A and B are shown apart, each in its own frame.
Chain A
């Protein structure tokens, strides 16, 4: 059963196709050699026989039967490979080195193969010969031939070599094909088995690498990379669910308690109004949080890439800075923009604007009065470096990496106004645009950097 399965594999079928091609070319080669050697030898023999017959016919014309007979006797005793027999019209032997007319039907001018017995050193041997038959004037028969025993033997050997090489080629090819496909199948089997295990729930399993560093290892490596990415995403999802639970449950709980407590005892209209207004504020906060979470989730999936278009970051920077400039001024802060050169990238204007708005918003929020916020855009090599620098509190180094992760916000900021998801959102927009987002120390203050790839 397993053997039969092997025949059905792609590797075996490929090996078979290759085998057929190989066999065909091998046969063509041998056939060419055969034709060139055996064919050439046969043509040479026939040529010699023809020349001899021509000579003998001439002799007969000149000196008649006695002359011809004399010459045949001479040639027969020469000890060469020539075979001769001269017979009367009723095939009675008159002269020649064959003991009798061979037992083959002949007509004038026919080529024949026949066998004859040759006796040398007291041993009689049956040998093959080729000859041509002629009827002379007066009804005499003449057969002139050559012993082709060696030639026929060589031909036979070539033929059998041809046959056996065919058998060996096919045999070796089949064995090789089976071995090759078994090898390929075994490596694919490992991948398939591991895949089934992973599908079956063993999510931590990975494709084993053979160490051969070949295309199978590359496939396994890529599959492992894919699995890691899926695991990361799944981990992200769990984290998202946990954070959504926390970020939405707490205000929902506040909302519910507020309404419940208000209803516990009779209250004045003013009190009811206040409770309802508080509820609306709470709901607005919830909506804002929800929107942020949704936006981050959507940026993470990368589907927003469909809306990417070429845009000049300088325009985005100037627009967003302009939106926030009065806010900074109201807090007696300066908001400086240093964007001397245009920087074309591919991206989503809305999302980048929102990310930058979050950074500037945060910078203004966490910088004390009289401070400064600087937004700069530099073009460095293939990158557009967007920086928002403030003179505020900064973020402790230990917590910087933490806030960049999906849906994470600093414990300390959970009770600050706003969804507190601003930096997570910037990080998500960064990932969407393949832009590296980092936080650093501006001494004092925070410097947030987004490195976009310039449009090529």
Chain B
């Protein structure tokens, strides 16, 4: 994937570039908003990672400008600002996701992957399929290997999110934000318990597990190829 990083902090940018390159991405780095806008005009990217506070052209204005010019690249905002409505402002300006600093690198990586996926034209799906696991979005029912699985409403949403991001690492924070709409970290990892409950429902009794724990990062739903 080709990524654009607009970040003025030299060290932070260096780590980011190194980490993303080692994860197999092609990375361009701009040190301020004006440079970032020039790169965004010259090149097509899969995801842009934009710091909120930038010299010359502020991150919000940069993304607004890009959107005005018809540039639809998914944008992930990074911000050291702690304002409560910062996330809302970022999303309103045309950002697709928002990650407050300091963040875990795996979190960033997982969100970038999720954004890349989002970019692919989303056809209206009525059924999600991963291996022999099927989720019918119309009848709100799930089955594996033809065997019906009884899911609570929230479990259904959780499984739906995991299936939409099948093959990708999904962090606990992403699940909290997207499945529960909570933007805080609970003191105890409640998500783990929800996942093990779901795992018991979809993997128990099957020889090949679909729902995997990715150590230090989160979870991944994938079929054995």
Residues of B within 8 A of A295 (CB): 184
Q: Which of B3-11, B112-120, B142-150, B188-196 contacts A (4 or more CB under 8 A)?
A: B188-196
Partner of B154, one of A303, A322, A330: A322
Q: Indicate the member of B182, B187, B194 with the most A CB atoms within 10 Å.
A: B187
Assess whether A354 is in contact with B184, with CB atoms less than 8 Å apart.
yes
Q: Number of contacting residues on A, CB 8 A?
A: 33
CA distance A304 to B86 in the complex (A): 12
A445 interface contact, C-beta 8 A: no
- Kindly state the separation between the CA atoms of A295 and B102 in the bound complex, as whole angstroms: 15
Asked if B193 and A350 make an inter-chain contact with CB atoms under 8 angstroms apart, the answer reads no
Expressed in whole angstroms, the Cα–Cα distance for A358 and B194 within the complex equals: 18
A-B contacts, CB under 8 A, total: 59
With A and B bound together, what is the CA distance between A295 and B82 in angstroms? Answer: 9
- Cα-based distance from A184 to B196 in the complex (angstroms): 75
With both beta carbons as reference points, the residue of chain B lying nearest to A350 in the complex is identified as B183
Q: Is the CB of B190 within 8 A of A350?
A: no
From the candidates B188, B193, B194, name the one contacting A365 in the complex (CB within 8 A): B188
Among residues of A, the one whose C-beta sits closest to the C-beta of B188 is A361
Cα–Cα distance between A98 and B183 once the two chains are bound (Å): 115
* Chain A CB within 8 A of B24 CB: no
Give the residue name and chain of the B residue nearest to A324 (CB): B190
Set of chain B residues within 8 Å of A342, measured between Cβ atoms: none
- State A417–B190 Cα separation when bound (angstroms): 14
**Cβ-neighbour of A323 out of B102, B180, B187 (below 8 A):** B180
Contact B190 A326 (CB under 8 A): yes
The verdict on B84 contacting chain A, using a C-beta distance below 8 Å, is yes
Chain B residue at minimum C-beta to C-beta distance from A304: B84
What separation, in Å, do the CA atoms of A358 and B193 have in the docked complex?
17
> If A294-B82, A307-B84, A323-B180 touch, does A419 touch B187 (CB 8 Å cutoff)?
yes
B197 in the interface (beta carbon within 8 A): yes
Question: Do A307 and B85 touch (CB < 8 A)?
Answer: yes
Known: A307-B85, A330-B193, A350-B183. A287 touches B188 (CB 8 A): no
**B82–A298 touching, CB < 8 Å:** yes
Bound Cα distance A329, B187 (Å)? 17
Chain A contacts with B in 309-363, Cβ cutoff 8 A:
319, 322-324, 326-327, 329-330, 348, 350, 353-354, 357-358, 361
Distance A330 CA – B182 CA, assembled complex (angstroms)? 22
A330 / chain B contacts, CB cutoff of 8 Å: 193, 196
Asked if B185 is an interface residue, CB under 8 A from chain A, the answer is yes
Could you tell me if B193 and A287 are in contact, using CB atoms closer than 8 angstroms? no
Chain A residues within an 8 Å CB radius of B184: 295, 350, 353-354, 357
Which chain B residues have a beta carbon within 8 Å of chain A's beta carbons? 82, 84-85, 102, 104, 154, 180, 182-188, 190, 193-194, 196-197
Contact sample, A vs B, 11 pairs, CB 8 Å cutoff? A288-B187, A291-B185, A294-B82, A295-B184, A326-B193, A326-B197, A327-B188, A357-B182, A357-B184, A357-B187, A361-B188
